[in-house]
Amino acid sequence: MGSLGHEEVEYVHYHAGGKRGSRPVLRGAAAKKTFESIPVIDISGIFSDSLEERKKVAKEVGKACRDVGFFYAENHNIPDEVIDQTFAAVKHFFALSHEEKMEVHIHKSKALRGYEPLFETKMEGAGKGDMKEAFTMGDDATEPESQAPNSGVSTAIERSNCWPTAYPEFRPIMYQYFRSVRALSKRLMQIFALALDLPEDYFDAATSYPMGGVRILHYPPQPVPGASDIGLGAHTDYDFFTLVLQESVEALQVLNANGIWIDAPPRPRSYVVNIGDFLSRITNDKFKSTVHRVVNKSGKERYSMPFFFSPNREATLATVPTCVEEGTKYEEVNAGEYFRERLIAARYQHPAAKAARAMQVAATA
């Protein structure tokens, strides 16, 4: 709490851009004009042969990215059977014994892939940690299913993914979904280019073998209203954008400019798309990377599958030419290096994070 004049002001605290932040809760005469719901966009036109049809979708997408930073994407091209099979596999994985899941603990992967048990991550100041368990897989040039190119882009030379031996069917099912959502994301990246008044293929070279990851999440019931446990603390994502597939349990919330949490309930067969810090950065913050959180007070289990889409490792994050009329806010950075810095900072106890801190200490000694 803080004070503004003689009135007590409530603040919402979060992590954004790799830093802690806060926002006052504004009501009544102090409230700003901001969003109160998440726009719904029929994206079927992105598959049209007509450039004009694709531009129509891009116009809607651009407005949503500038005003909200979130939108629902309906009528995508990922088959229902792929989604159903993947959610079934997700539930099967989380039903494995603790020992079987810990076999692929994230600390065993230099790329920070694998399993994270309940309360291992923490983004809120209060509580004992995020009330979720998770598993992450993604692009891995050592695995043929990843379909890494033979040349032209840098790829990881060490194994990145970890797979449970107790559930061998998990790997092919997850890769099937990974490739499907990666292809959809590449198509969406072309729509973002059009929304920014850029050539449709502007980002193609920088996303030929993108950094991408599927993070499956299991949130146990949180039945006690007002409890300090948070499913996933308030934060922004540090990718180009995220595609989130939710089941039927409502828990995702998005923070508007007035510090009010807006519900983003599941819509059948629809993705929630949210802009990440990378895309916000290269647009000079014209596209909004919006704070969000997960609070599962439904009394039911919740499963979700976010897919994080980022550029190739060797790509440069630079402000796009249509967003420089007021100068540039951010310096150019290497995407892979910046991504890893943000990733290990978010996993403070991971061996890779400890090694990075040790190297920093040695460099300044």
Cα separation, 215 vs 327, in Å, equals 36
Return the sign of the alpha-carbon dihedral for residues 202, 196, 210, 346: positive
Q: Map out the domains of the chain with their CATH numbers.
A: 37-339 (2.60.120.330)
Cβ-contact 162, 100 below 8 angstroms: no
Cα separation, 262 vs 336, in Å, equals 32
**For 62-85, what is the mean pLDDT?**
98
Confidence at residue 227, expressed as pLDDT on a 0 to 100 scale: 46
Cα separation, 210 vs 213, in Å, equals 10
Mean pLDDT estimate for the chain: 89
pTM of the model: 0.90
3-state secondary structure of 86: helix
Cα separation, 304 vs 219, in Å, equals 9
With 50 as the cut, is the pLDDT of residue 153 above it? yes
With 80 as the cut, is the pLDDT of residue 349 above it? no
Across-strand partners of 73?
41, 271
Confidence at residue 223, expressed as pLDDT on a 0 to 100 scale: 57
Residue 46, CB-side half-sphere exposure with 13 Å CA sphere: 27
Q: Which residues contact 265 (CB under 8 A, 6 or more apart)?
A: 250, 252
Rg (CA), the chain: 20
Confidence at residue 80, expressed as pLDDT on a 0 to 100 scale: 97
Confidence at residue 151, expressed as pLDDT on a 0 to 100 scale: 56
Q: Which stretch of DSSP H or E encloses residue 365?
A: none
Distance in angstroms between the alpha carbons of the first and the last residue of the chain: 40
Reported confidence tier of residue 126, pLDDT bands at 50, 70, 90: very low
Supply 337's token pair.
């290096």
Reported confidence tier of residue 158, pLDDT bands at 50, 70, 90: low
Reported confidence tier of residue 17, pLDDT bands at 50, 70, 90: confident
Q: Which stretch of DSSP H or E encloses residue 152?
A: none
With 80 as the cut, is the pLDDT of residue 273 above it? yes
How do residues 212-246 score in pLDDT, each as one tens digit? Answer: 999 999 998 865 555 455 556 789 998 999 999 99
- Nearest-CA neighbor of 235 among 12, 10, 3, 7? 12
Residue 44, CB-side half-sphere exposure with 13 Å CA sphere: 3
**For 281-295, what is the mean pLDDT?**
95
Confidence at residue 119, expressed as pLDDT on a 0 to 100 scale: 81
Which position has the higher pLDDT, 296 or 163? 163
Across-strand partners of 41?
73
Angle 170-171-173 from CA coordinates, rounded to 5°: 70
3-state secondary structure of 326: coil
3-state secondary structure of 214: strand
Cα separation, 58 vs 64, in Å, equals 10
Confidence at residue 86, expressed as pLDDT on a 0 to 100 scale: 98
User: Which amino acid is present at 301?
Assistant: E
3-state secondary structure of 303: strand
**For 319-326, what is the mean pLDDT?**
96
